[in-house]
Every structure is written in C-alpha cells, then in structure tokens.
Amino acid sequence: MKKSRRVKKSNNWRIKQHRDQFFKKSKTLGYRSRASFKLLELNNKFKFLKKNTSLLDLGSYPGGWSQVASNLITSGKILSIDTKPMKPIDNVEFIKCDIFEDKSKDKINNFFKGKIDVIISDMAADTTGNKSLDSIRTNQLCSEVLNFSTKSLKPDGIIVSKIFMGEDFIEVKNLAKSLFKNVNFFKPKSSRNESKETYLHCKILKTL
C-alpha cells in the first residue's frame, strides 16, 4: 500500500511539472530550474543585480539562481555555496560546504576580500511531510541568514531570502525590521499558488 501511494505521488508530481508553464519554459531556455524565474521577477521588482555586484548565493544547488546572476553580473564577483555539489557555471565560484560553519565563513571572507553587496538565498529545509514543521524550519534558516548578513554585507547591502507564511512569520519579519531600514515582501508569479513561500527583500543595515 505504501509503495502504491509513493508511485501515485510521483506520477502526480510528473503531471504537475508537465503542466507547469515555468517548468517547461525553463527547459526551453536552458535554465537549471524553474526557480530561475523567481529571481528574474525579484530583480525586475527591486533592481539589485548590477553588472559589478559582489554576490553570495546561499543554498545554490542546482544553480538556477547562480545561473541568472552570472548572466547579469559581468564584472562583479559571484560565490555560490551548498552542501550538495553543483555543476560549474561561467563566472561563478562554487564551494561545497555548510554556510553556518565558521570555516565556511572564512572561505567567504577570503573570496570577497571585504563586504558583500548582495546575499541571495532560496534555501528551504528538507521536507518532513509536516507543513507546519517545514515552515518553521525554513524560517529558522531565513533568520540565520539574516543574522549572518549583518556581519557580511556592506552598510547599503541587500538580502533576498525565501520565507514561508506560517506561525513564526511575524517573528522573522520583526527580526528583519530590527536589522534593516527597508524591508519588503514579494511573491513572484512563478511561485506556485499553493506554496506558502514568499520572498523577503531587505536593504540598508541599521547601526547595531
């Protein structure tokens, strides 16, 4: 019975992907994932990817966001980090590590030789089947990225991070507002309607 349910769930996923216009469009345009369109929409809204930007992509696998960034950042620096291996992308340096380990932070500092213009994160916790728990765990990641950014961003720096609309959403929102002068939220059209995800855009660090 359990095997039958898994097969049915897998088939439903394939059908949904086949019908998904952004999934099909990503294949046509050669993007690594449909998530590429989320970053394109976010950048169209907030204009944070410029040709000379120094950018850190956290949780970069499979490389959809790094791929978009590499097309727009032509004279800056891009570093992508994930615990999963990522296939090479032109103009992108990749490090396989855990961002929250101290040795990883040393590697980031060595690469940029200074503060960063933009940090992007499409990270989500591994799913457990419990939507409430998954939301909490992903929002904890967002909070950790926010705290990390205060030590890594330039004073006028920008962070863009996935966040879920859940019971701890307000806590993360309040944390963001305590750290940044400008805080906005945006749900791209390429984000599935049934998904609880939205994206946090923060700009200009407050003096702590």
Residues with a known catalytic role: 162
| Of the candidates 106, 63, 113, the residue with the CA atom closest to the CA atom of residue 88 | 63
* Distances in whole angstroms, Cα of residue 103 to Cα of each of 95, 110, 177: 12, 11, 29
Q: Are 157 and 118 in contact (CB under 8 A)?
A: yes
Q: What is the DSSP string of 145-183?
A: HHHHHHHHEEEEEEEEEEEE-STTHHHHHHHHHHHEEEE
Please list the alpha-helical segments (H only) found in the chain.
Answer: 2-19, 21-29, 35-46, 64-72, 102-112, 131-152, 169-179
- The owner of tokens 């994206």 is 199
Q: How far is CA 88 from the centre of its chain?
A: 18
